[in-house]
Structures are given as structure tokens and as C-alpha cells.
């Protein structure tokens, strides 16, 4: 497995273009199963996760063509015919979001057999909300030997779906299914993330009739078929926040482009409170820190527009050098402090109790060998390494490759000393 080595101490100066959003792109790719016409996605990120889903879609009958258009990377997906409604474990287990092919397969063909995604290192993340939503649309769901067998031979029918708690994945999955259901579907207590709006916008371009996306109540008037479309993937707000925090951690001045500051306003508010200078502009923002010590602040993760759980690990890295004690409360996933022991290896002072972490700022961090446990944890260690004395080596960076495109190149262009070490069976990665 590859590793990433960071020699800390270099200030960041320059510009970082933000890629298209991973969490949006993979759901938009799944939407290609809903039509026999081409779906062209522009501003596409090139990531392990999009490659994984591309392989699964090809197995189901989608022609996937990657290229570079006038606006940058794009992917053309054409599913003239569903040749298989079977999504096997070996493919689904590589990325949980691939489970979302179930709804489109069921909506278009009336049947599907999709593997349950299995466990997740950051929490249980059950799919029961997904399955209950499909049942509310008239699907028959059976579970056997780790697989979901779904049937709707007469098609799906509109209904009312009220989620017991906010779930981005379940909201997206319900949208992907109900656009072809007969009658009206009302989704209540829906997630409000920008990625939900992006998916709805794309589906509407394809001929769907969706209103209310971005609010707790979404209404969908089902249509009999969808057509092709061209849609630009929205900027990745998690990548935006990650590089904003990297600039704050290392010091210097970095301009983030091809993105929107309002997507991460909750994070930016906390960064300003901590002493970081943030200046929004038309296509992104500039983040600046002149070397003054940061102040500790309190943070609690919440569904959008609150503080994103996917930025919690990165913010914890920043707080390791802040003056005073910061308190970070995780309310979304129960096991999402696994990066704390690795940050402690770098010299951080962190005490975790249940869903709360107390971070007492230290004068400096020191480089060490650390292990990535999940996608966001891996990049938090890179951020910490930017400010640590000496060299930090992050192992198991395949996690990082799932969600960050050309990370070494983007940081390196701003002066960071970051390099990839190709896999050599290093013991720390076993």
C-alpha cells in the first residue's frame, strides 16, 4: 500500500482549485440507470470511489466513457439497457454508496438483487431507512444471505415517507427511486445538504418533477420516463473545508477557487473565531494566518447547515495547536474519533469520552508514523503533518484516495513538502 510523507514547517502560499464533489458525483452516476439516454456529468472528480462505482455500473449495463471536455474532466454514462440487476458483494463492499443502485434498478426494471454493504469503521450506518423508503413506494423487500431482493413488478407507486432522523443517503436513495413512481411522493424530514439539491437539479434536467430540495419537505411528481442531460457536479465542500483548514494549520495565504464559501459557513465561522482570516470571493475564498497562535473553540457536528461531521477530524487537527482547551462533540457517527490516537502519536493532548473529545493545545507537534483509519481521518493526519516538526508518514492512504484528487499536487503547488511513497509491503501498513 502507498504511504504519504509530509515534512512539516512550510507555509502555504498559492491557489488550490477545488474538484467536483465526491458525495454528489457518485449519486449522479447512479442516476444514469434511470434512462436509456446519455447522461453527461462535467466537473467530475477522478477518485477511487468514482472508479469503483463505474465498474459496478458497467456490470449492470452502463457504458462509461471518461474524458476531458471544455470545462474539464467529464464522464458520459449511457445505459441503453439494464443487462443485469445483480450487484455483488465484491463490488458493493468497496464503497457503501454503491448500494444506491438498488432504487434506480427497481424503478426502471421492477426488480434488483443488491448486496448489503456491510460494516463501516465510523459507525453502524444501517440501511434500514433506505429499505423502508422503498417499501413505502410499494416495493417488496426480502433479505437472504447478505443480499437485498427487491421487487415491484407493477412499478413503484408514490407515497409519503417520513424519515425518523435526517439521513443524506436515505433521502438521496428515495429520490432516485420515486422519480419514476406513479403519483406523488412526499419526503418529510429530508436532508438539506447541497448534494441533495444537486441530485434534484440533475434529475429535473432529465425530466423529473421535484420541488423543495434543500428543505425538509420534498415533493416529487412521478413521471413515466427520464431523458438524458448534461449536468455539472457541484464543488466539493468537504475538500474546500479540508484545504481551508490545511492553510490555517500550516500558516500562509491560500486562495481556494471553483467553490462556494456558503457551503461551509459553519466551519468558516469557527475558523474565524479561532483567529483565522477568511475572505470570501466570487469563486471561493482566501484563507490566511500570519503565524499568531490559534484560540481554542467548541464545535458540535450537526446535519447541514451545521458543522459537517466530515470536517470534524480535520478541525481536531487544527485545534491540537490552539491555545486553551477545545471541546469537539460528534453527534452523527458513534465511532468517529479513531483519528485521535493517531494525532496523539504526533504529540497532541486529546481525551475522548463517548461522543466528546477535549483537545488541549500543545506548543508543537512532532512527526511520526501514523495510520489512516478512514477517509476523513487520513487527511486530518496530513493536515497535522504540515505543522509537525520533522517527517510524518501516513500509512494506508488508500482511504485518502477515495475522496481527494491529486492531494500531493495541490498542496505541493502551494509549497508543502508532500510526497507519495509507493507500496513496498512496509510493516506499518499490514
The answer on whether 295 is annotated among ligand-binding residues is: no
Cα–Cα dist 382/159, whole Å: 46
The answer on whether 128 is annotated among ligand-binding residues is: yes
The helix (run of H) or strand (run of E) holding residue 175 is helix 168-178
Residues of the chain with pLDDT under 50: 119-125, 425-430
Asked if 208 contacts 220 with a C-beta cutoff of 8 angstroms, the reply is yes
Cα–Cα dist 240/205, whole Å: 26
What are the two backbone dihedrals, phi and then psi, of residue 269, each rounded to the nearest 5 degrees? -60, -40
pLDDT at 123: 40
The answer on whether 125 is annotated among ligand-binding residues is: yes
pLDDT at 288: 98
The answer on whether 365 is annotated among ligand-binding residues is: no
pLDDT at 424: 59
pTM of the model: 0.95
Cα–Cα dist 270/280, whole Å: 15
- Give residues with Cβ within 8 angstroms of 365, minimum separation 6: 8, 320, 321, 346, 347, 348, 384, 387, 388, 389
Helices 265-274 and 312-319: crossing angle, nearest 10°?
Answer: 0
pLDDT at 229: 98
The answer on whether 303 is annotated among ligand-binding residues is: no
Per CATH, 3-16+236-429 and 24-229 having the same topology is answered: yes
pLDDT at 122: 33
Alpha helices in 193-264 (DSSP H): 194-205, 237-250
Q: Tell me if the domain spanning 24-229 has CATH number 3.65.10.10.
A: yes
Cα–Cα dist 304/318, whole Å: 21
The answer on whether 264 is annotated among ligand-binding residues is: no
- Give residues with Cβ within 8 angstroms of 187, minimum separation 6: 161, 162, 163, 171, 174, 175, 178, 217, 218, 219, 220
Domain with residues 3-16+236-429, CATH architecture:
Alpha-beta prism (3.65)
The answer on whether 68 is annotated among ligand-binding residues is: no
Q: 120, 178, 192, 414: which one is catalytic? A: 120
pLDDT at 107: 98
Cα–Cα dist 307/292, whole Å: 24
Cα–Cα dist 40/66, whole Å: 10
- Show me where the domains of the chain are located: 3-16+236-429, 24-229
pLDDT at 185: 98
120 is catalytic: yes
Residue 264 burial (C-beta neighbours within 10 Å; 0-12, 13-18, 19+) = buried
The dihedral sign for the CA sequence 400, 406, 409, 412: negative
pLDDT at 104: 98
The answer on whether 108 is annotated among ligand-binding residues is: no
pLDDT at 102: 97
Amino acid at each position: 500500500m502507498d504511504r504519504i510523507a509530509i515534512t512539516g514547517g512550510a507555509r502555504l502560499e498559492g491557489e488550490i482549485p477545488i474538484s467536483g464533489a465526491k458525495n454528489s458525483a457518485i449519486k449522479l452516476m447512479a442516476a444514469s440507470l434511470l434512462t436509456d439516454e446519455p447522461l453527461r456529468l462535467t466537473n467530475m472528480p477522478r477518485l477511487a470511489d468514482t472508479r469503483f462505482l463505474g465498474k459496478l455500473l458497467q456490470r449492470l449495463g452502463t457504458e462509461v466513457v471518461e474524458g476531458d471536455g471544455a470545462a474539464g474532466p467529464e464522464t458520459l454514462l449511457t445505459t441503453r439497457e439494464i443487462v443485469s440487476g445483480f450487484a455483488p458483494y465484491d463490488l458493493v463492499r468497496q464503497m457503501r454508496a454503491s448500494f444506491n443502485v438498488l432504487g434506480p434498478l427497481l424503478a426502471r426494471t421492477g426488480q434488483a438483487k443488491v448486496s448489503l454493504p456491510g460494516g463501516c469503521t465510523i459507525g453502524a450506518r444501517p440501511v434500514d431507512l433506505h429499505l423502508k423508503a422503498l417499501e413505502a413506494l410499494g416495493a417488496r423487500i426480502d433479505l437472504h444471505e447478505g443480499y437485498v431482493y427487491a421487487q415491484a413488478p407493477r412499478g413503484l407507486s408514490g407515497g409519503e415517507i417520513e424519515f425518523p432522523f435526517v439521513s443524506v443517503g436515505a433521502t438521496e436513495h428515495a429520490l432516485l427511486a420515486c422519480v419514476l413512481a406513479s403519483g406523488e411522493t412526499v419526503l418529510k424530514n429530508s436532508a438539506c445538504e447541497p448534494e441533495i439539491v444537486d441530485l434534484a437539479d440533475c434529475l429535473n434536467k432529465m425530466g423529473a418533477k421535484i420541488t423543495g430540495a434543500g428543505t425538509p419537505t420534498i415533493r416529487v411528481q412521478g413521471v413515466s420516463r427520464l431523458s438524458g442531460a448534461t449536468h455539472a457536479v457541484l464543488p466539493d465542500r468537504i475538500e474546500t473545508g479540508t484545504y481551508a483548514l490545511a492553510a490555517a494549520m500550516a500558516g500562509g495565504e491560500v486562495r481556494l477557487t471553483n467553490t462556494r464559501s456558503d457551503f461551509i459557513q459553519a466551519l468558516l465561522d469557527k475558523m474565524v473565531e479561532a483567529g483565522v482570516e477568511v475572505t470570501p470571493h466570487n469563486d471561493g475564498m482566501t484563507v490566511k494566518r500570519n503565524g499568531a497562535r490559534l484560540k481554542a473553540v467548541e464545535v458540535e457536528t450537526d446535519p447541514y447547515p451545521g458543522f459537517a461531521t466530515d470536517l470534524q477530524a480535520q478541525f481536531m487537527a487544527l485545534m491540537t495547536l490552539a491555545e486553551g482547551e477545545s471541546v469537539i462533540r460528534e453527534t452523527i457517527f458513534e465511532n468517529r474519533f479513531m483519528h485521535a490516537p493517531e494525532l496523539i502519536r504526533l504529540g497532541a493532548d486529546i481525551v475522548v469520552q463517548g461522543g466528546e473529545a477535549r483537545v488541549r493545545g500543545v506548543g508543537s507537534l512532532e512527526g511520526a508514523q501514523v495510520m489512516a483509519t478512514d477517509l476523513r481521518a487520513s487527511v486530518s493526519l496530513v493536515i497535522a503533518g504540515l505543522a509537525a516538526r520533522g517527517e510524518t508518514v501516513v500509512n494506508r492512504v488508500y482511504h485518502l484516495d477515495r475522496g481527494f484528487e491529486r492531494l500531493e499536487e495541490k498542496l505541493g503547488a502551494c509549497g508543502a513538502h508532500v510526497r507519495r511513497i509507493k507500496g513496498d509491503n512496509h510493516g506499518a501498513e499490514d
